[in-house]
Structure 1
Amino acid sequence: MKSKCRNFLADASNQDLAIPHPQPIISQIPEREKIKHTLTGSSKAVIRTIQVLHQLGYANIRDWTPLLPTSNPGEVMSILVRSKLRSSLPDTYVWLFV
C-alpha cells in the first residue's frame, strides 16, 4: 500500500525547480535618522510637559528618560529619542514611533 503523503513530496530527480533569489533586506530598509528632544526646567514643569505631549498623542510617558539632574540647582532634564524616515522631498519627514 502506497502512502498518501508520497504525492506531496518533491521528486529529487526533478532538476527544473526554480529557486527564487530573495532581494537583500538592506536595500528595502529606508534610511532613518535619530532626533533627540530635550526638556529642561523644574521637575514640575518637565513632568507636566511630558504629560501634555502624551495627552496630545505625541509621545508615551515611558518613552522619556527618568528625570536627570543638571548642573543648575533645582533643574532637571528628560530626553526623548525618536527615529524618522527620510522622504525623497527635502525637509519632509515621516515619523516612526519607535
Structure 2
Amino acid sequence: MTEDFIRDSSPTPNPATPVPSTPPPDKRHPLKVIVISSPQGVTRTIHTFYRLGYAHVSEWSKPQPTQNPGEVMSVLYRRLRID
C-alpha cells in the first residue's frame, strides 16, 4: 500500500523548457571586395560605395601597400545571402 505514495523518480518534461534544435544551415557565402589603386583612387572608391549605401567607410580595411610602388589595396568582407 505504501507503494502508491512513492513518487516516480523519472524526470517529467517541463513544457516551459525550450527544446534544443539544430540551427538552420548558413546560406550566407563569404564575399571579399578588393579595391587596388593609388591611395587617392582607393579612398575615392570607398567613399563612392558609401554614398551608394553599399558600405560604411569604417567597414573597409586600412589601405595596405602592394608590390607595385604607389599602389595600395583595401578589402571589404561581407557575407552574401544566397537563397
TM-score normalized by the length of structure 2: 0.75
Q: Give the drift of 1:22.
A: 2.5
Instruction: Pick the structure with greater CA Rg.
Output: 2
Percent identity of equivalent pairs: 32
Please report how far the alpha carbon of residue 84 of structure 1 lies from its aligned counterpart in structure 2 after TM superposition: 1.3
- In structure 1, runs of 5+ residues without a counterpart are 1-12, 88-98
Indicate the residue corresponding to 2:21 in structure 1.
Answer: 24
Question: Which consecutive segments of 4 or more residues in structure 1 shift more than 3 A?
Answer: none
Q: Which has the higher contact order (CA 8 A, sep 6+)?
A: 2
- Any unmatched runs of 5+ in structure 2? 1-6
2: CA distance, partners of 1:81 / 1:63: 8
Superposition RMSD on alpha carbons, in Å?
Answer: 2.2
Deviation at 1:41? 0.5
Q: Figure out how many residues of one structure are paired with residues of the other and give that number.
A: 73
Alignment CA distance shift 1:35-1:17 (3 Å): closer
